[in-house]
Amino acid sequence: MKPKNLIWHIFKKDCGLLWPFILGAAGLQFITMALRYALDHVAWQNVQVLLNLYNLLLIATIAAPTLLIATAVHQDAVPGVRQDWLVRPVKRRDLLLAKLLFLLLMVQGPILLADMMQAMANGFPLIPSLGAAASRNLYLLLGLSLPVFAFASLTRNMAETVIGAVAGLLGFGVLQILINNRGQVGPLRGTGLFWIAESSMFAIALLGSIVVLAMQYFRRKTMLARGAMAGVAFLFLLAYMVPWNFAFALEQRLSPSPGAGSSIVMTFNPSMIRFRLPDGMSRSAVAATLPGRATRDEASTVYLPLQIAGLPADGALNTDNSELVLRDADNTVIYRGPADDLVVRKDGPAEPAHFTVGIRRSAFFRDIGPEDTPVPESNGGQALVYQGVALPRSLYDRIKNRPLRLEINYSLTLLRATSYNIPALNADLRIPNVGHCRSRMDDEADDIVVNCIQAGAASTDCNSAFLEHAPSGRRNPARFYCWPNYSPYFGQYLPDAMTRNRASFPFRDLSGLAKYPVDASQLPDARVVLRVYEAQDHFTRQLVIPRIQLSDWESLEHTQVAENR
Amino acid sequence: MIQVNKLWKKFGRTEAVRDLSFAVPEGSAFALIGANGAGKTTTIKVLMNILEPTLGSAEVLGVDSRRISPRELAQIGYVSENQDMPEKLTVGQFLAYLRPFYSGWDVELEKSILGQLRLPMERKIANLSHGMRMKLSLACALPFRPRLLVLDEPFSGLDPLVRDEFMEGLLQQAGEMTILISSHELGEIDGVATHVAFLDEGKLLFQESMSDLVGRFREVHVTLERDQDHIGNGNGKATIFPKCWLRVRTMGNVLTFVDSQFSESEVGEQLRSLIGNVKAIDAQPMPLRSIFTTLARAAREGAMQ
């Protein structure tokens, strides 16, 4: 037989031996896909039961391919001295390629097919469906299947694999805890740049898998390969720590419209009044201590008044990272750490700017910040906002009345909005980059619910949306969500190759206390306005305040509490 | 066909094979003999490139064992009691799976061997007895007419009937092929081996042709003029005999020992010069099993140098 026929020959042998397992694993993908489709499109009475079942199946859709890969590899295990293939004229390259072929056709293949069918069943054409499915498939291949293949090649049987995996995960977890305890949570975590860390991890996983597989199949150096695998796991973890400056420089090079943010200027405006916490929030209420970078204490947080010029009328400014440097009178650095994240948006020339401040990683929209607060604009149309600066309490108490030099090094992204209108009642339409959207009134008849589903990635990581009565122009309060992801590719382990977004827009208060500008009577002429912000430019700015006394910029609420003590 | 040069194989601190050198001539049936743990299987696994030598080297079919490729493996048949075959395949499926890997696979020969070994084609390998598995292993090793057939403890655990069937199957197809067979009992390879090497605790004690081995071992019974109870009864006394005399014993006026370097012309002279009162000498050829037992015991007692 010719070599490629022998690859096929070994592949067929594995298929013959494992066909019940192959069918089971593939069946799981299709059953899960069908259940998801039913959950998306059918109104079920007892939906929670189905959701629980679906969540169980989701775990199985990852576990089954993992076990199938390991089982296929173990049919001709590499470690050990008793395997029959070792004494046969089997080219090791052929064996490796046969296992790879199995992985692609019998493991990845059904996932690809199920994902593609899911997208097509949701009404997406073949090419976008295939594109979304292939993108997720590649993601799974690099992030799961190949590392599992390499790992399984280091073991003789499933028991060894499971024990090795448990030991490896424990070691991996301990390393991660050690790193986290040093306050070194990955700099890119929780930001739109995390895809760079993820890509680095995948690159390491790919290279590591190739190295381990080559060592195993061409040299049969199991102990050495196990050491290499441990090294790869360590490097994988290190990739989590990609330095911010490097990652942002790379992201800047990928800016879709370089220079679009060049007109944006951020300046300190001491003429503004001090910041006031929103009603109902006190410093004790907003104090939070979270691990690593997310440590925040409202009692030692100051809010610097800033004015932002040059923000386009349909733009949003997102701080991807802000590094605070405080210097003493003699220019020595007395503190270097993160400042609060800040998001400023402007939906149109006639609309006020809004801002959100807090720590993104602790879900700042709810826990700390004033969320999407409207702010006045100066005569020149500049947004007047506040930058939160949270310091360790002991340090703050020591330095709050000293004259300091303050610098904030911003890594910023300018996003521009595209608006889409969705009729409030019973709409069913396709929106480019958002997906297939449907609107309806909910069962309580107090919300308009919009569900959008897209094959692959949807551009809705940063958006504002509100209910509008088109003839009168009346609007209900907007909902704003901005947690951008700048990834140029689509990938997710679970649940499938689709992106789903759901939003509710209230128009009636069931308690009768609130009244909305757009109410039930106006719904036939109402629409949901969806503004999707997409990144245009990534750039840096530096804010320098040569002389500042931090206590001057405590929130009004803070001072009031302190005076009452 | 096989050349082993100063081969060492260590597992951690354990030396499984120590400074091993031997040669297997083409066309021979070379038996690697030794007790359990002597290093036979390790040596074979090094020859098959399943294990790498720690030091030294081995050549098989003119190729360094570390570089043995499918080209060489296509000319080597391997039968071992330690062989994990795909358990879920049936006998027929396994043979069908192996066929394409060997360009010289002779289907007619395969049929003939299968008929002779009476293997159940539809039965899964997992359901085969140990003897059946060994026969299957042999059936998979012969149809491509290997130049070298390696048999690692092929008779271990086989009942006499299966063993005979196995041997019959083997001998009928042996032809010109070179055979390397390992066993912990010399008697098992009686009538098969042309050469033999004896391993003990990883070291080679000797290697030679079977005819030389059989020729130089004799069980010698010496009748003395009078009782010589003290000869050979105490350790100190035994040292007066040559080292090639093994298992020296006396019973009344009869002295018995195994001469591992027997020479008819020399043994009488040696006895007379050492003991003097020799009445009669009777030297009998030994069965292989007895030679092995004597050698193994002597090796353990450190008698052989």
Q: Chain B contact for A502, CB < 8 A?
A: no
Residues B28 and B71 grouped into a single domain: yes
Residue B297: inside a domain: no
Q: Of the candidates B82, B98, B100, which has its C-beta nearest A82's C-beta?
A: B82
Nearest CA in chain B to A93: B70
Overall domain count for chain B: 2
Residues A49 and A143 grouped into a single domain: yes
Residues A46 and A155 grouped into a single domain: yes
Residue A157: inside a domain: yes
- Cβ–Cβ gap A81/B51 under 8 Å: yes
Residues A286 and A390 grouped into a single domain: yes
- Distance (Å) from the C-alpha of residue A12 to the closest C-alpha of chain B? 9
Side chain identity at B95, as an amino acid letter? L
Residues A132 and A197 grouped into a single domain: yes
- Cβ–Cβ gap B83/A75 under 8 Å: no
Residues B274 and B149 grouped into a single domain: no
Contacts of B65 in chain A (CB under 8 A): none
Residues B74 and B153 grouped into a single domain: yes
CA separation for the pair B72, B70 (Å, rounded): 5
Q: Do A460 and A434 form a contact (C-beta atoms < 8 A)?
A: yes
Residue A256: inside a domain: no
Closest CA to A105 of A237, A31, A10, A201: A10
- Distance (Å) from the C-alpha of residue B113 to the closest C-alpha of chain A? 19
Provide the token pair at A176.
Answer: 């991660």
Last residue of a domain, one of B213, B246, B267: B213
| Residue ranges of chain B whose CB lies within 8 Å of a chain A CB | 45, 48-51, 70-71, 73-74, 76, 78, 82-86, 88-89, 93, 97-98, 100-102
pLDDT at B49 > cutoff 60: yes
Q: Of the candidates A81, A82, A84, which has its C-beta nearest B86's C-beta?
A: A84
Q: Chain B contact for A15, CB < 8 A?
A: no
The strand ranges marked E within B184-271 are 195-200, 203-209, 218-224, 245-251, 254-259
CA separation for the pair A347, A479 (Å, rounded): 12
Phi/psi class of residue A102: alpha, beta or left (left: φ > 0; alpha: ψ in -120 to 50)?
alpha
Last residue of a domain, one of A207, A242, A277: A242
Residues A339 and A440 grouped into a single domain: no
Three-state SS string over B240-260 comes to CCCCCEEEEEEECCEEEEEEC
- Cβ–Cβ gap B97/A17 under 8 Å: no
Q: What is the mean pLDDT of residues B271-286?
A: 84
Contacts of A88 in chain B (CB under 8 A): 70, 73, 98, 101
Write phi, then psi, for A466 (nearest 5 degrees). Answer: -155, 160
- Cβ–Cβ gap B100/A82 under 8 Å: no
- Cβ–Cβ gap A89/B88 under 8 Å: no
Classify residue A539 by its DSSP letter: E
Q: How far apart are the first and last CA of chain A?
A: 89
Last residue of a domain, one of B171, B197, B213: B213
Contacts of B98 in chain A (CB under 8 A): 88
Q: Do A137 and A104 form a contact (C-beta atoms < 8 A)?
A: no
Q: Chain B contact for A6, CB < 8 A?
A: yes
Contacts of A3 in chain B (CB under 8 A): none
Nearest CA in chain A to B88: A17
Q: Chain B contact for A120, CB < 8 A?
A: no
Residue B81: inside a domain: yes
CA separation for the pair A38, A59 (Å, rounded): 18
β-sheet with B254-259: strand ranges across:
B245-251, B254-259, B218-224, B278-285
CA separation for the pair A320, A113 (Å, rounded): 37
Residues B129 and B229 grouped into a single domain: no
Residue A550: inside a domain: yes
Q: Please, which residues bridge with residue A167 across strands?
A: none
Size of interface A-B (CB pairs under 8 A): 52
User: Measured between alpha carbons, how far is residue B227 from residues A143, B224, B258, B271 in Å?
Assistant: 87, 7, 20, 15
- Cβ–Cβ gap B73/A91 under 8 Å: no
Residue A260: inside a domain: no
- Cβ–Cβ gap A90/B50 under 8 Å: no
- Cβ–Cβ gap A16/B93 under 8 Å: yes
- Cβ–Cβ gap A88/B73 under 8 Å: yes
Residue B290: inside a domain: no
Residue B299: inside a domain: no
Residues A197 and A224 grouped into a single domain: yes
Residue B223: inside a domain: yes
Q: What is the mean pLDDT of residues B175-192?
A: 81
Residue A247: inside a domain: no
Q: Chain B contact for A87, CB < 8 A?
A: yes
The strand ranges marked E within chain B are 2-11, 14-24, 29-34, 55-60, 63-64, 76-80, 148-152, 178-183, 195-200, 203-209, 218-224, 245-251, 254-259, 278-285
Residue ranges in B20-79 assigned as alpha helix (H): 40-47, 70-73
Tell me which H or E stretch contains B163. Answer: helix B160-174
- Distance (Å) from the C-alpha of residue A100 to the closest C-alpha of chain B? 19
Residues B94 and B10 grouped into a single domain: yes
What digits encode the pLDDT tens for the residues B8-23? Answer: 999 988 999 999 999 9
Residues A323 and A440 grouped into a single domain: no
Output the pLDDT for position B304: 46
Owning domain of residue A50: 3-242
Give the range with max mean pLDDT: A66-70, B86-90, B133-137: A66-70
Contacts of B89 in chain A (CB under 8 A): 13, 16-17
Closest CA to A431 of A440, A439, A422: A422
Q: Given 3-state DSSP classes, what are the helix, strand and coil percentages for chain B, each rounded to the nearest 5? A: 35, 30, 35
User: Measured between alpha carbons, how far is residue A306 from residues A268, A321, A543 in Å?
Assistant: 5, 17, 9
With a CB-CB cutoff of 8 Å, which residues 60-79 of chain A face chain B? 75
Q: Chain B contact for A9, CB < 8 A?
A: yes
CA separation for the pair B145, B173 (Å, rounded): 8
Nearest CA in chain A to B70: A89
Side chain identity at A274, as an amino acid letter? R
pLDDT at B70 > cutoff 60: yes
- pLDDT classification of B251: cutoffs 50, 70, 90: confident
Residues A320 and A429 grouped into a single domain: no
Residues B257 and B182 grouped into a single domain: no
Residue B244: inside a domain: yes
List the single range of A318-327, A457-466, B47-56, B99-108 with lowest mean pLDDT.
Answer: A457-466
Q: Do B178 and B28 form a contact (C-beta atoms < 8 A)?
A: yes
Provide the token pair at A84.
Answer: 């029959």
Provide the token pair at A191.
Answer: 């930001």
Overall domain count for chain A: 3
Q: Please report the DSSP string for B69-100 in residue order.
A: -HHHHTTEEEEETT-B--TTSBHHHHHHHHGG
Output the pLDDT for position A527: 96
Residues B118 and B189 grouped into a single domain: yes
Last residue of a domain, one of B213, B245, B277: B213
Residues A291 and A229 grouped into a single domain: no
Residue A249: inside a domain: no
User: Measured between alpha carbons, how far is residue A339 from residues A244, A294, A299 in Å?
Assistant: 14, 10, 15
CA separation for the pair A295, A293 (Å, rounded): 6
Residue B278: inside a domain: yes
Residues B192 and B250 grouped into a single domain: no
Output the pLDDT for position A4: 59
Owning domain of residue B204: 2-213
Q: Chain B contact for A88, CB < 8 A?
A: yes
Tell me which H or E stretch contains A428. Answer: strand A428-431
Output the pLDDT for position B289: 79
Taking the CA atoms of residue A219, residue A222, residue A228 and residue A233 in that order, the dihedral angle to the nearest 10 degrees is: 130
CATH of residue B160: 3.40.50.300
Residues A160 and A66 grouped into a single domain: yes
Residues A218 and A321 grouped into a single domain: no
Closest CA to A360 of A319, A304, A416, A393: A319
Q: What is the pLDDT along chain A (565 residues), one digit of tens a residue?
A: 665 589 999 999 999 999 999 999 999 999 999 999 999 888 777 888 999 999 999 999 999 999 999 999 999 999 999 999 999 999 999 999 999 999 999 999 999 999 999 999 999 999 999 999 999 999 999 999 999 999 999 999 999 999 999 998 898 788 777 766 655 567 888 889 999 999 999 999 999 999 999 999 999 999 999 999 999 988 988 888 899 999 999 999 999 999 999 999 999 999 988 887 766 555 554 444 444 444 567 778 899 999 999 988 889 999 999 999 999 989 999 999 888 888 888 877 777 777 777 666 544 433 444 556 667 665 566 888 889 898 888 899 999 999 999 999 999 999 999 999 999 999 999 998 899 999 999 988 999 999 999 999 888 789 999 999 999 999 998 888 888 899 998 888 889 999 999 999 999 998 888 889 999 999 999 999 999 999 999 999 999 999 999 999 987 766 655 555 4
Output the pLDDT for position A364: 44
Residues A167 and A296 grouped into a single domain: no
Contacts of B73 in chain A (CB under 8 A): 87-90
Residues B119 and B209 grouped into a single domain: yes
Residues B169 and B260 grouped into a single domain: no
Q: Do A326 and A404 form a contact (C-beta atoms < 8 A)?
A: yes
Residues B245 and B166 grouped into a single domain: no
Contacts of B70 in chain A (CB under 8 A): 88-91
Contacts of B151 in chain A (CB under 8 A): none
SS3 A385: strand
Residue B80: inside a domain: yes
Write phi, then psi, for A80 (nearest 5 degrees). Answer: 105, 170
- Write the ipTM: 0.83
Output the pLDDT for position A550: 95
Tell me which H or E stretch contains B303. Answer: none
Closest CA to B209 of B187, B191, B194: B194
Residues counted in chain B: 305
Tell me which H or E stretch contains A91. Answer: none
Residue A257: inside a domain: no
Residues counted in chain A: 565
Owner of token pair 């048949």: B77
- Distance (Å) from the C-alpha of residue B177 to the closest C-alpha of chain A? 17
Residue A252: inside a domain: no
Q: Strand A353-358 relative to strand A341-345: parallel, antiparallel, unpaired?
A: antiparallel
- Cβ–Cβ gap B84/A6 under 8 Å: no
What is the number of other CB atoms lying within 10 angstroms of the CB of residue A269?
15
Among B43, B72, B73, most A C-beta atoms within 10 A, so best to mutate, is B73
Q: Chain B contact for A20, CB < 8 A?
A: no
User: Measured between alpha carbons, how far is residue B156 from residues A87, A456, B45, B129 in Å?
Assistant: 20, 61, 17, 13
Contacts of A17 in chain B (CB under 8 A): 86, 88-89
